[in-house]
Chains A and B, each alone.
Chain A
């Protein structure tokens, strides 16, 4: 997920505020340790074909059992059939294997591999004389390749890649489609097989099948495979490959089928999940307005990757962010921030947090387009992951915004909302909030309204919470809380009637206001 491991990176911009403008925005870190389950809305890396052919009888009991004995016997039979010379038996064996590999639960991938069947299956892929055999073998291999990396590796090492690429051109649509699918599984395994496929010329072979008369089902598989060819970093797919695929992906983004749209969007999201040069390539295609349009779709499967793509783009440079703004992203975001799914809210808040990290002109556009009200709503009522993103948005906003903009945000209720979140059971979030509070105080100092702000913070219970944080086990937090208390809330801050009377010695170091260099 986008923001999970970025905190440290994000923090750099607070600590060295204004020093590293290029690092102002938040990026995904390539490799991050995850504790959670892989996310449910994420697109799938590999898929098994478990559909059944229409005219088939239901699976026989032996094909659906977990009994090792039975399976082992079945496999022995398959081995015998497949290794024999009788085409009829080969077809039978292949089909039995495919059925085993297509059962819903516990397909015996390992057993099939260990039975040494892969060599034969790959061989069958070349049997243009027997399309049925080709098809059954392709299907079986597809499903083996859908397993773990080790399973995929077995398929590749048996030389399946060139055979599948050749099969793409098969006049039989179902065979070509199965090849598309198998190649998708191999590409989805990771950058190394992905690049191996690209080296073998998979892209032109795939794109050749992208014709107006191709059936929707076929196109779905094709789009998914293309998206897997865009997927993964370390390294990214090389630029030339991306350039080859992009026009077709853009074309697919205008298709009417939701599933095609979804995978095409995922492809874009992978391509934009990288350094600014990668983002630039996508922006140059002029696809931004269409992406923004897709944000307005009903289907979660489309909205999620479209929003992810937009989120990636606004984590790029100021110019790239501006391009997204110009394409109308700010009018689409409020509704996504109010989306019924919290995962969408979260991604939207993440995008807002990155826009808020930009120059004050872009912050102004957040205000103009009415994003503050939904942002404050998220701070108040969002689920925790969303609140965490929204907190980042506030901190970024307050560290880059003008005094007026900060005041506006406070008036919208953001301060009260983040003060409530000081109770969050997440150390980083708490620290980020303290940072935002500090930023708001800096703005108040410039306006000479520190006392007023102190009262506001105290009224809404913020002072109690900040004081409580002085006991926090985490040093950074307790120091930040203590610094706020010492600077703004120390004892007898209430004696303003006295401070006017009482000054320090002469030649006091007075407070200072604006900063501007002398330059005639």
Chain B
């Protein structure tokens, strides 16, 4: 009800939602949520918003209203309509007016609300919205006009990214019909007003924000295609845009160095508009383009270095970059004077190292590195300038290289005159060389294609090496970082001798104070160590590293002690990579290193915050273990001694990020043991079966792996000392196979149980296991499940014999065995993938064919030849990787490989396990020999079954096996 009492109540509750104390705030929020389904609630909110005397309450009501609209306006199919129709109508009737007459803070909220409503209702269910808005253009009140423009912008901006459809285009057409002409009139009128009020700064500010909004609307309305209206009015728009680009008004210049001012925002949007036309509507825009090129280029020449111009400058440069590589505009650039002037006045100045860069280098190393190293510099000036260099090089590589060589030389000369003052010149020179030389680049190899006109080796020797060799490593850190980066960038271009010369210098730079500098050194070394030479061996060998090994390891760990770098992922990755490269050479240092790594682990486990750092830390641990234990398995105990205390703490405190890693390292350690399972592991065993651990998807793969290691090393121990845990273990299996995402993990576990556990210990559970599998097969049969199921039943057959398999199936339900053979094995075995898996199936099926009397003497006999045919198919035909239609759209979460939060450690991996191993070398021969044995037991039957129903092609393959095994069927 709309009455004073209700308004009063609502106001009170709104007030309470602003109180920080949760004991007051939460109940108030709850209350409002509980009444928002009531009819009239939104109208009450709007009334408070309009009538309240308290400014804070008004804003609060506006925000609450917007959130209410966001949550409730959309009508979801099959769900109740959450806002009554009268309320909807009333809101739409009033909101535009209310928005336009409200102060700016409220206006923005209501404008957002309008665009949310518009997204659902416009245009069909809100036909008069546009006309209502357009009539306000005439109001002459720019506060109102800007409100309309802002709302229009939020309604139309989706045209910039939505796919074309008839529905969308009908809407745009409607918008154009009502909006384009008034917008154009408004644009012209606003520009005229700018002249009239050329000296009134306050008026200008409002007018320029209108112009910026109008320009944004232009972009949205022109994005999908060039509308007829705008083609007809191109002259008006482009002439005015062009004038605005060249316009300067002292009154609008801001003192702020960081924040872009209105002029910059407007011009930046105009650059975008011009770029849009140049790219998409080239034919129509051609007459205007040269003018824009000149204007934008003049703009660049006259724009300063301040951060506030960055967006404008990078947009403007990107415009030039996109135009200059189009063949029919090439002539605009080809004049030597033009090129020189672009290089000199546009490119070089924007490559300069600015004070903002310097600040980031010193105070915000992490951000600097991300921008400079990982290419998140997409809209920086330097990046734009680089793109322009590359664009110009498409047609003018020679002249551009020539012009820049001159600049590089003069900048280096400047530097040489007074390095202390002019070091930034050298920085720019290096940057220029880099951007000129790089034609293609990857993270893995650095630059892979270089401009042949640039002599990279000579530059390295003359200008880079000097800096690296300079005895005072902490002097000119920016130049040192540049030099290090140069080595990294051009590592594939520089000859090996030069890289080897650089290695010890890089090692020395690991100790520098500057974070950027030692981080770059670590990263460079890491990259150099991954380079490959002949035979895919590492380019730099452990022997070549021998003289520096100790220094390298020392400095890497010391670098982790430098303030700001204690969890530096680049350094940790370099440690990992060094271990991997040096292999045996690190063994002597392991006692020290493992202590340092463990200590680090203990520290970071208190509050894991750098996922990459932590990942490489665990990788490094795994490498230490593998490398040391490869030389001497007995050392595994000392690792356990060092690591278990930390691991225990991590498990006890349930540090979620680390638990999966701990399980992987433990698996690695346990697998190294040769004799029985140590008691320390057995003590942990019951804890591993706790359901809570299995609730986290990230734990599942490493836990399964760990349990497999337990079974491999300690099956008998479990059977004898922890038999009561077997049901729990099987419970894990049961949980896993119930999930489409994890069923394969369940089978990994089940396979290990069947393979490793003493048969007696699981006899009582066997029938139950199969019943569970059949239930799942019945309820949701997926290809993945069937493949795992086939491998499992064949493994069971190999381990317990074909008769046991047949008896247990038929014991569950009469004729079950025949049904499985007919409905699952024969039609699906072709889908089994993996060498080991196929071998298991081959051996298992051979046993069913030749060691199962029921297959010869009952009604199952009719399946004998088809099963043999399926087996020959498994041997000879390509794998069937087709997937049934209804499985095409299984959710991503249901497929392995997309699991969340499991970070596999590469260096904790284990070799593929083959439960059959050498017992069967060639399953085809085994089949031949087994058939031979069968045929001698019942002479005449096998050849007759073959000749009556096995297709000729299959028979031919079979004869090949028999020949190879030198046996004959009788």
Chain A interface residues (CB < 8 Å from chain B): 4-5, 7-8, 29, 31-37, 342, 381, 383-384, 423-428, 431, 455, 458-461, 463-464, 468, 472-474, 476-477, 491-492, 494-495, 497-499, 501-518, 520
Contact = CB atoms under 8 A, between A and B. Distances in A.
Given A502-B906, A505-B704, A507-B744, A473 B882 contact: no
Interface in B282-329: 282-283, 322, 326-327
B443 interface: yes
Contacts of B788: 507
B538 to A, nearest CB: 8
B448 A512 contact: no
Contacts of B538: 497
5 contacts: A384-B279, A455-B442, A464-B375, A505-B748, A507-B837
A304 B635 CA distance: 81
A494 B879 contact: no
Most buried by B among A427, A463, A516, A518: A518
A427 B162 contact: yes
Interface stretch (B31-39, B560-568, B828-836): B828-836
Given A32-B166, A505-B910, 4 more contacts: A31-B166, A37-B228, A502-B904, A506-B915
A225 to B, nearest CB: 28
A459 B449 CA distance: 8
Interface stretch (B210-218, B498-506, B511-519, B951-959): B951-959
Contacts of B322: 423
Contact of A512 (B161, B708, B877, B879): B879
Most buried by A among B440, B788, B836: B440
A459 B440 CA distance: 5
Chain A to chain B: the 6 pairs with minimum beta-carbon distance, closest first: A502-B909, A520-B951, A459-B440, A506-B913, A512-B881, A33-B169
Interface stretch (B110-118, B219-227, B602-610): B219-227
B865 to A, nearest CB: 12
Interface stretch (B135-143, B170-178, B403-411, B639-647): B170-178
A428 B162 CA distance: 8
Interface in B232-246: 232
Given A33-B169, A455-B442, A515-B878, A503 B912 contact: yes
A515 B791 CA distance: 20
A35 B172 contact: yes
B169 A35 contact: yes
Contacts of A426: 280
A278 to B, nearest CB: 23
Contacts of B631: none
Nearest to B869: A520
Contacts of B25: none
Contact of A383 (B164, B224, B283): B283
Contacts of B870: 518
Contacts of A423: 322
Given A35-B226, A424-B279, A497-B580, A515 B882 contact: yes
B176 A35 contact: yes
A419 B907 CA distance: 35
Given A498-B580, A509-B744, A509-B784, A460 B176 contact: no
Given A33-B169, A459-B440, A464-B375, A474 B882 contact: no
A507 B877 contact: no
Contacts of B835: 510
A342 to B, nearest CB: 6
A460 B449 CA distance: 10
Interface string B374-401: 0100100000000000000000000000
A406 to B, nearest CB: 19
A473 B161 CA distance: 6
A474 B701 contact: no
B594 interface: no
B833 A512 contact: yes
A507 B708 contact: no
Contact of A381 (B283, B327, B837): B327
B346 to A, nearest CB: 20
Given A425-B276, A506-B836, A507-B744, A474 B442 contact: no
B102 interface: no
B524 interface: no
A468 B318 CA distance: 15
Most buried by B among A32, A492, A504: A504
A495 B224 CA distance: 43
A32 B905 CA distance: 54
A507 B748 contact: yes
A5 B164 contact: yes
Nearest to A514: B878
Contacts of A499: 906
Contacts of B509: none
B444 A472 contact: no
B441 to A, nearest CB: 6
B164 A428 contact: yes
B378 A468 contact: yes
B34 to A, nearest CB: 33
Nearest to B831: A512
Contacts of A511: 833
A128 to B, nearest CB: 45
Contacts of A518: 830, 870, 873, 877, 880
Contacts of B906: 492, 495, 498-499, 501-502
Contacts of A459: 440-442, 448-449
A228 to B, nearest CB: 24
A474 B160 CA distance: 9
B834 A508 contact: yes
A495 B279 CA distance: 39
Contacts of B281: 384
A431 B701 CA distance: 34
Nearest to A472: B161
Nearest to A29: B166
Interface in B346-389: 375, 378
Contacts of B787: 509
Contacts of A491: 612
A33 B171 CA distance: 10
A8 B276 CA distance: 23
A4 B166 CA distance: 10
B331 interface: no
Interface string B856-887: 00000000000001100100011111100000
B319 to A, nearest CB: 12
Contact of A36 (B164, B228, B449, B954): B228
Contacts of B228: 35-37
B747 interface: yes
Contacts of B227: 35-36
Contacts of A503: 909-912
Nearest to A491: B612
B445 interface: yes
B122 to A, nearest CB: 16
Interface string B824-851: 0000001001111100000000000000
A458 B954 CA distance: 47
Contacts of B878: 513-516
Nearest to B957: A520
A515 B165 CA distance: 36
A474 B223 CA distance: 14
Contacts of B146: none
Given A455-B444, A506-B748, A506-B836, A427 B283 contact: no
Nearest to A37: B228
Contacts of A517: 880
Contact of B953 (A497, A502, A520): A520
A33 B170 contact: yes
A516 to B, nearest CB: 5
B913 A520 contact: no
Contacts of A513: 878-879, 881
A512 B881 CA distance: 7
Contacts of A458: 441-444
Contacts of B161: 427, 472-474, 477
